[in-house]
A and B are shown apart, each in its own frame.
Chain A
Amino acid sequence: MTVKLVFLGKLGDLAGTDERSVEAPLDWQGLIDELQGPIGEAVQQDRTRIALNGALLADKTALNAVSGDEVALLPPVSGG
Chain B
Amino acid sequence: MARDVRLLTEPFNPGSFVGPFSNAHPGLGGVCTFVGEVRSDDEVEALELIHYEKMTLAGMEQLADQAIARFDLMGLLVVHRSGVMRVGEPIVLVSAAARHRREAIEAVDFTMDHLKSDSWFWKREKRADGWHWIEPRERDHSDLARWA
Contacts and interface: CB of A to CB of B under 8 A. Distances in A.
Interface of A: 6, 8-10, 13, 51, 53-54, 56, 70, 72, 74-80
B50 A72 contact: no
A80 B136 CA distance: 11
Given A8-B50, A10-B133, A77-B122, 13 more contacts: A9-B133, A51-B55, A54-B58, A56-B55, A70-B54, A72-B55, A77-B119, A79-B115, A79-B140, A80-B80, A80-B92, A80-B115, A80-B116
Contact of B54 (A10, A53, A76, A80): A53
A75 B80 contact: no
B interface, by DSSP: helix, strand, loop or mixed? mixed
Contact of A78 (B52, B54, B92, B135): B135
A54 B137 contact: no
Interface of B: 36, 49-50, 52, 54-55, 58, 80-81, 91-92, 115-124, 133-137, 140
29 contacts: A6-B52, A8-B50, A8-B120, A8-B122, A9-B122, A9-B124, A9-B133, A10-B133, A51-B55, A54-B55, A54-B58, A56-B55, A70-B54, A75-B122, A76-B136, A78-B123, A78-B133, A78-B136, A79-B115, A79-B116, A79-B117, A79-B123, A79-B134, A79-B136, A80-B36, A80-B91, A80-B92, A80-B115, A80-B123
Contacts of A78: 121-123, 133-136
Contacts of A80: 36, 49, 80-81, 91-92, 115-116, 119, 121, 123
Contacts of A13: 133
Nearest to B92: A80
